Copies of this chain bind each other. A is one copy, B any other.
Amino acid sequence: MLGRLNHVALAVPDLVAAVAAYRDTLGARVGEPQALPEHGVTVVFVDVGNTKIELLEPLGETSPIAAFLEKNPSGGMHHLCYEVDDILAARDHLKSSGARVLGDGNPKIGAHGKPVLFLHPKDFFGTLVELEQA
């Protein structure tokens, strides 16, 4: 069921500084910031060849990463996103295995314009897992 790692999302308090660290210090290929107000983040994609790192900065009053940054003011690893072929089949398998799907259990359209679900971190040893229909 589980496909490739689509991205690793890192929450950062200062996107300009994070871009400088990844582009200049680490020498990575870093894109332009994209404001996604409907998702409550501004995102920068770092292309590392085989997958993407997403640097996320809160945008707006109800950002989904605001609480994480309150607990981790320096930033940190926020979630891992894996691709699946069929998100509804994946959801049904996960629920039948006892894993908790966040929200109302129905896929939403994620930041890449594709259906996504998030799984409860307590069911995956402290890691927030996103599934995206590739």
Could you tell me if A125 and B10 are in contact, using CB atoms closer than 8 angstroms?
Answer: yes
A82 CB, min distance to chain B CBs, angstroms: 7
Q: Is A113 an interface residue (CB 8 A)?
A: no
Question: Which residues in chain A, 51-85, are within 8 Å of chain B measured between CB atoms?
Answer: 51, 53, 55, 72, 74-77, 80, 82
Copies in the complex: 2
State which residues 9-57 of A face B: CB under 8 Å. 10-14, 17-18, 21-22, 24-28, 48-51, 53, 55
Q: A48-B3, A48-B5, A80-B8 are in contact. Are A21 and B126 (CB under 8 A)?
A: no
A1–B26 CB distance below 8 A: yes
Q: Which residues of B contact A3 (CB under 8 A)?
A: 48-49
Residues in B whose Cβ lies below 8 Å from that of A127: 10, 75-77
